[in-house]
């Protein structure tokens, strides 16, 4: 006589079957919809292959996080397929499938037990307030999602990435896999765009300056010498590619990372680190093209006449205009702002003649779109994450935990400093890093029972 099937087990199997059928339907939607919109066959194949990672989420949630990273950051900013993917809401659907798969994994006891600490509460309040601001804008008749690349649903994706990453990263090996996925994706994108494609391209510059410390994190996460060399080489290549972008915001972010690293080491072998910093400065002075430094000089010296001088001055002046418009929006709507994703649509009311542009600042855009409370919650969330990583770095017993917490701090610092000059407030990768930081707290907690 056959043994009876436990109803919970049967329910889990049925749920898995439905989940995998949904993945198959998603693949059909991507292929048929993308083909109808003119997407290249190689990109259709790329998207469908990435769904394998989503299919593995109920058994290995981290695979879905890596899949999202490849979906979101593996394409050139100028590729028409990127707009096709965004218009089809592929990233929203990837996030939905990731969330469902994660729920199945949690039901089966695969993920970490998530402890609610102050950062989780702040993140929850931030997301809730964003929803409130969005609802307030909709009630006033403001159209939803008028600027595709800063769609309000980006915050939904960010929330999913934060929660799943926090639960999925459980071991040192998980850290290595996630670092490898991010480094491979970003380097692949840079290679795909080529030298002309990365030149003056701010999005890939943002990815490079954030991912270089993550590649070093991977170097500390792995134990084999060969893989350490691979990760270390990847970090060096990223810094070289960053120089090719000649992006000023990324250069300021990278300089801040180096200064913060020096400050962190101020009490330990400071002479050695100072020597390293001086050497880096000399190498940078020799290798960085004059055109890069000329871009900074043009801001303060009207006499500069290099090839991009006019562009350099106009973009600096335009940022001041965009920031001024954002402050005016916040003063007119100090409580709930103009609503998430609505800054570009409202810009023309405050700066006549301007097209659909982002604020070119995380902080101005959060202030304009979610009011003063939204900005405070945003600052508290990422500031608290930096503090939490500092506590992990100082309290960890294992050197690899200290170094990985340090590299996460540097990656987040690069994001926060670069965000002064670029609108990456809804950048899902930053919230993924925050979830990773919470996972590092859990790892540290387990080593200090």
Two structure tokens written together for 279: 């050497």
Checking if the pLDDT of 93 tops 90, the result is: yes
Residue 402 has pLDDT above 80, yes or no: yes
- Dmax over CA atoms of the chain, in Å, equals 92
- What is the share, in percent, of the chain residues with pLDDT greater than 70? 89
Q: Radius of gyration (Cα) for the chain, nearest Å?
A: 22
Strand ranges, E, within 89-243: none
Q: Average pLDDT in the 327-333 region? A: 97
Task: Give the per-residue pLDDT at 219.
Answer: 95
Please report the pLDDT score of residue 301 as a whole number.
74
Give CA–CA dist 72/185, Å, rounded: 9
- Tokens read off for 332: 């007119």
Distance, CA of 106 to CA of 276 (rounded, Å)? 46
Q: What is the mean pLDDT of residues 172-196?
A: 95
Is residue 6 scored above 60 in pLDDT?
no
Number of Cβ within 10 Å of residue 188's Cβ equals 14
Confidence of residue 266 (pLDDT cuts 50, 70, 90): low
Residue of higher predicted confidence among 264 and 56: 56
How is residue 352 annotated by DSSP?
T
H helix runs in 37-117, sequence order: 41-55, 61-73, 80-87, 90-107
Percent of the chain whose predicted confidence (pLDDT) is above 90: 69
* pLDDT above 50 (res 91): yes
Can you read off the two tokens belonging to residue 152? 């309000």
DSSP state of 40: -
C-alpha distances (whole Å) from 272 to each of 72, 265, 386, 400 are 39, 10, 25, 20
pLDDT for residue 1 = 45
Summarize pLDDT for 65-77 with one digit per residue, the tens.
999 999 999 998 8
Q: Residue 273 pLDDT more than 70?
A: no
Work out the angle at residue 93's Cα, subtended by the Cα atoms of residues 210 and 160, and round it to the nearest 5 degrees. Answer: 50
Q: How far apart are the first and last CA of the chain?
A: 47
The pLDDT tens digits of the residues spanning 29-59 come to 999 999 999 999 999 999 999 999 999 999 9
Q: What is the pLDDT of residue 288?
A: 63
Cβ atoms 196, 237 nearer than 8 A: no
Average pLDDT, integer, range 314-321: 90
Reduced to 3 states (helix: H, G, I; strand: E, B; else coil), residue 278 is helix
**pLDDT exceeds cutoff 60 at 214:** yes
Mean pLDDT for the stretch of residues 237-261: 91
What would the mean pLDDT of 339-364 be, rounded to a whole number?
Answer: 94
Distance between CA atoms of residues 276 and 274, nearest Å: 5
Q: Residue 202: pLDDT band by 50, 70, 90 thresholds?
A: very high
Assign 329 a pLDDT band (cuts: 50, 70, 90).
very high
Rounded to an integer, what distance in angstroms lies between the CA atom of residue 100 and that of residue 94? 10
């Amino acid at each position: 006589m056959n043994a009876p099937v436990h109803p919970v087990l049967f329910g889990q199997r049925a749920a898995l079957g439905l989940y995998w059928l949904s993945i198959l339907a998603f693949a059909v939607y991507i292929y048929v919809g993308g083909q109808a919109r003119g997407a290249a066959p190689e990109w259709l194949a790329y998207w469908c292959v990435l769904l394998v990672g989503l299919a593995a989420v109920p058994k290995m949630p981290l695979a879905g996080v890596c899949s999202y990273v490849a979906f979101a950051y593996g394409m050139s900013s100028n590729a028409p397929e990127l707009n096709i993917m965004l218009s089809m809401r592929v990233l929203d659907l990837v996030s939905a499938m990731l969330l469902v798969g994660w729920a199945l994994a949690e039901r089966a006891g695969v993920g970490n037990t998530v402890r609610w600490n102050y950062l989780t509460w702040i993140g929850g309040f931030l997301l809730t307030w964003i929803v409130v601001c969005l609802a307030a804008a909709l009630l006033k008749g403001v159209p939803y999602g008028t600027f595709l690349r800063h769609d309000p649903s980006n915050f939904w994706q960010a929330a999913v990435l934060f929660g799943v990453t926090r639960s999925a990263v459980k071991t040192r090996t998980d850290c290595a896999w996630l670092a490898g996925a991010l480094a491979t994706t970003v380097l692949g994108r840079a290679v795909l765009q080529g030298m002309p494609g990365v030149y003056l391209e701010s999005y890939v510059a943002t990815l490079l300056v954030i991912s270089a410390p993550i590649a070093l994190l991977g170097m500390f996460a792995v134990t084999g010498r060969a893989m350490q060399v691979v990760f270390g080489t990847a970090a060096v290549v990223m810094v070289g590619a960053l120089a090719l972008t000649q992006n000023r915001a990324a250069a300021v972010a990278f300089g801040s990372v180096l200064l913060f690293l020096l400050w962190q080491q101020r009490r330990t072998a400071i002479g050695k680190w100072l020597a390293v910093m001086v050497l880096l400065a000399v190498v940078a002075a020799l290798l960085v093209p004059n055109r890069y430094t000329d871009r900074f000089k043009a801001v303060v010296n009207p006499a500069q006449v290099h090839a991009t001088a006019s562009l350099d001055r106009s973009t600096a002046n335009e940022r001041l205009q965009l920031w001024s418009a954002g402050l005016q929006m916040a003063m007119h709507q100090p409580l709930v702002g103009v609503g998430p994703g609505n800054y570009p649509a409202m810009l023309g009311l405050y700066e006549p003649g301007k097209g659909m542009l982002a604020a070119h600042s995380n902080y101005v855009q959060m202030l304009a779109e979610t009011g003063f409370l939204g900005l405070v919650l945003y600052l508290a969330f990422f500031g608290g994450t930096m503090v939490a990583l500092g506590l992990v770095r100082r309290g960890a017993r294992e050197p690899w935990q200290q170094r990985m917490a340090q590299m996460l701090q540097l990656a987040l610092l690069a994001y926060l400093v670069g965000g002064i000059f670029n609108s990456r407030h809804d950048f899902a990768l930053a919230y993924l890093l925050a979830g990773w930081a919470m996972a590092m707290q859990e790892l540290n907690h387990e080593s200090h029972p």
